[in-house]
């Protein structure tokens, strides 16, 4: 449609154009850009490539293959759905930042070189931080700053690894990496964005405090872009198998303990991305198909979960389960939309998660250890326990509370309806998804043994929940995580790193202004400046009364009478100083040349 234009640039152009649109049509104008992106993606053939010359390097801002297309299509689609959800928003900053964020995610996915990847990677960090900051509370401001610092740290690791890799290989091509320190640094940079434990705490800190619409965007791009880059560069690295297993179990454990409904979902991003990282680490065609298809469906159902919980917060102004309850009669449609997403993330048969996540576990059964398979099944149990049972029970049922509810905009319902429909259709008809995966799919989710396994997991988990529901009741407590370490150390770090630099620059600024004033004074009246300095040096000496009385500076009358003589003397001395300096320059020139 638009030749070989990188798709992300369409959304970035939209971010720049939105502020120029009339306020009452800006929300609809937002939707134009993801629609154009989807149409453009439909016209890009596999193998399409665009190159730009930069200094002595060839940059590749567009490189289309099957893996990139899986992420590209779902990124553009979720941008459209989230745009519908945010149609009522009139905040230009949020709207432009959302498009910039989505566009940079798409730019990273289609980047064929590491420089382009880093460029979009950093834009993604800053635009995402704004979506947290825009909530406008003190907590969201602090979370946004921590988010920004963490991702600047991750971006620095990535950039350092890229520069090291360039110095060793002379290439910026984004392809599979060989083990070595440059690759380890690059992987560490990817791991920050993927929320690999213990680098994960930013996600549970920031996503629950983002704007209600912004968190829908946040749930889609940062971690899934990192999964894509790992699949592109580190497929088959066994360390990722164990990192992913730790993520899956750790994330689901903290989700079970969480009280804030969006914090539950944030920890489940850590857990679900862990499944994808396991697939990347196994590295077989089945495992990579599982990781990429899981990323695709996860974006859909996680976006729907954040839309449903965002609608609850919009209607009630509350986000903690200890403050919610009895909403079924007031928000029934939101409940059903939430349950479609909850059953999808729990891999319930006939929903989207059932056709993707079990594919990774299936690959682990053949190409990994029994321990990995067991822990992934355990994480699946915890997922249904927390997202599928605990959150809906204590939000829509449970203790009846007098919670006032305000109307939810129609566009939020429309977006949730579209998301729910897509999750059901994909669960019933996985063929179109399987057709775009990197490798031919041999896994059949509706084989009898897979159906039995899926239903058994759900039924026994539900039975266990109702037996111990009183023990799982949410509690109004503070959850400590690995971010405790850098939160506690922030004052010390500030005093030892930021404060000295700030003091130095403050002193330097004051010195520079004073020096500039002195230079200007010398240029304007060098003789007067010398007299002032000499006079300051003699300030402590006794001044004869007659001299003081006759000084032009001591009396306005005497001073005005001696102005011509003083001006003539100063002009003469300035001329002599100029001749002297010219003579010095001539001597220097003859000496040097």
The lowest-confidence range among 103-107, 324-328, 493-497 is 493-497
- Three-state SS string over 459-498 comes to HHHHHHHHHHHHHCCCCCCCCCCCHHHHHHCHHHHHHHHH
Structure confidence at residue 558 (pLDDT): 41
139, HSE (Cβ side, Cα atoms, 13 Å): 8
pLDDT at 474: 81
Instruction: Decide: helix, strand or coil at residue 557.
Output: helix
Averaged pLDDT for residues 455-460: 91
Examine the pLDDT at 542 and tell me if it is beyond 60. Answer: no
Give the span between the Cα atoms of 272 and 194, in whole angstroms: 11
Residue 307: strand, helix, or coil: helix
Eight-state DSSP code of residue 173: B
Tell me what pLDDT residue 580 has: 66
Kindly state the DSSP code that residue 318 receives in the 8-state scheme. Answer: -
Q: Are strands 49-54 and 57-63 parallel, antiparallel or unpaired?
A: antiparallel
537: pLDDT confidence band, cut at 50, 70 and 90?
low
Instruction: Please state whether the predicted TM-score (pTM) of the whole model is above 0.75.
Output: yes
pLDDT single digits (tens) 119-143: 999 999 999 999 999 998 989 998 9
Per-residue pLDDT of 333-358, as tens digits, reads 999 999 999 999 999 999 999 999 99
- H/E element, 315: helix 285-316
Question: With 80 as the cut, is the pLDDT of residue 492 above it?
Answer: no
Residue by residue, DSSP assigns 14-75 as HHHHGGGS-GGGHHHHHHHHHHHHHHHHHTPPTT-EEEEEETTEEEEEEE--HHHHHHHHHH
Q: Token digits for 307? A: 């839309």
């Amino acid at each position: 449609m638009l030749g070989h234009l990188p798709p992300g640039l369409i959304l970035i152009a939209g971010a720049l154009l939105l502020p120029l649109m009339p306020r009452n049509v800006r929300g609809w104008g937002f939707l134009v850009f993801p629609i154009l992106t989807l149409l453009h993606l439909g016209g890009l053939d596999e193998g399409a490539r665009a190159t730009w010359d930069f200094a002595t390097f060839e940059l590749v801002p567009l490189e289309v293959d099957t893996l990139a297309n899986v992420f590209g299509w779902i990124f553009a689609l979720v941008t459209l759905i989230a745009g519908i959800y945010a149609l009522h928003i009139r905040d230009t900053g949020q709207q432009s930042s959302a498009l910039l964020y989505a566009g940079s995610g798409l730019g990273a996915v289609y980047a064929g070189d590491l420089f382009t990847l880093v460029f979009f990677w950093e834009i993604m960090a800053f635009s995402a931080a704004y979506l947290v900051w825009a909530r406008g509370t003190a907590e969201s401001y602090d979370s946004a700053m921590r988010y920004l610092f963490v991702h600047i740290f991750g971006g620095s690791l990535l950039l350092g690894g890229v520069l090291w890799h360039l110095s060793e290989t002379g290439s910026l091509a984004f392809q599979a990496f060989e083990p070595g320190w440059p690759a380890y640094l690059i992987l560490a940079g990817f791991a920050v964005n993927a929320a690999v434990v213990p680098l994960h705490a930013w996600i549970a800190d920031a996503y629950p405090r983002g704007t209600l619409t912004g968190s829908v965007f946040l749930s889609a791009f940062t971690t899934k872009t990192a999964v894509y880059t790992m699949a592109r560069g580190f497929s088959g690295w066994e360390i990722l198998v164990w990192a992913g297993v730790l993520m899956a179990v750790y994330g689901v454990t903290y989700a079970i303990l969480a009280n804030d409904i969006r914090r539950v979902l944030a920890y489940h991003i850590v857990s679900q991305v862990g499944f994808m990282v396991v697939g990347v680490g196994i590295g077989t065609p089945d495992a990579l198909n599982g990781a990429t298809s899981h990323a695709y469906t996860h974006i859909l159902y996680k976006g729907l979960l954040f839309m449903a919980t965002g609608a609850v917060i919009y209607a009630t102004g509350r986000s903690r389960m200890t403050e919610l309850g009895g909403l079924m009669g007031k928000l029934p449609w939101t409940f059903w939309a939430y349950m479609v997403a909850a059953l999808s993330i729990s891999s319930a048969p006939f929903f989207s998660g059932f056709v993707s996540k079990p594919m990774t576990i299936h690959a682990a059964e053949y190409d990994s250890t029994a321990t990995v398979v067991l822990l992934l099944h355990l994480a699946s149990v915890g997922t249904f326990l927390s997202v599928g049972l605990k959150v809906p029970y204590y939000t829509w049922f449970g203790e009846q509370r007098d919670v006032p509810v305000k109307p939810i905009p129609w566009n939020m319902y429309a977006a949730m309806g579209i998301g729910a429909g897509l999750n059901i259709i994909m669960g019933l008809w996985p063929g179109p998804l399987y057709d775009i995966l990197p490798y031919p799919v041999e896994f059949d989710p509706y084989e009898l043994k897979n159906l039995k396994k899926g239903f058994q997991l759900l039924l026994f988990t539900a039975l266990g929940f109702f037996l111990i529901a009183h023990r799982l009741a949410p509690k109004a407590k503070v959850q400590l995580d690995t971010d405790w370490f850098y939160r506690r150390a922030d004052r010390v770090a500030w005093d030892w790193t930021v404060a000295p630099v700030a003091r130095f620059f403050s002193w330097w600024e004051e010195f520079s202004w004073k020096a500039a004033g002195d230079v200007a004074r010398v240029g304007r009246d060098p003789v007067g400046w010398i007299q002032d300095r000499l006079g300051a040096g003699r300030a402590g000496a006794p001044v004869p009364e007659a001299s003081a009385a006759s000084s032009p500076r001591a009396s306005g009358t005497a001073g005005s009478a001696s102005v011509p003589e003083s001006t003539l003397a100063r002009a003469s001395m300035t001329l002599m100083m100029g001749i002297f300096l010219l003579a010095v320059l001539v001597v220097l020139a003859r000496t040097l040349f």
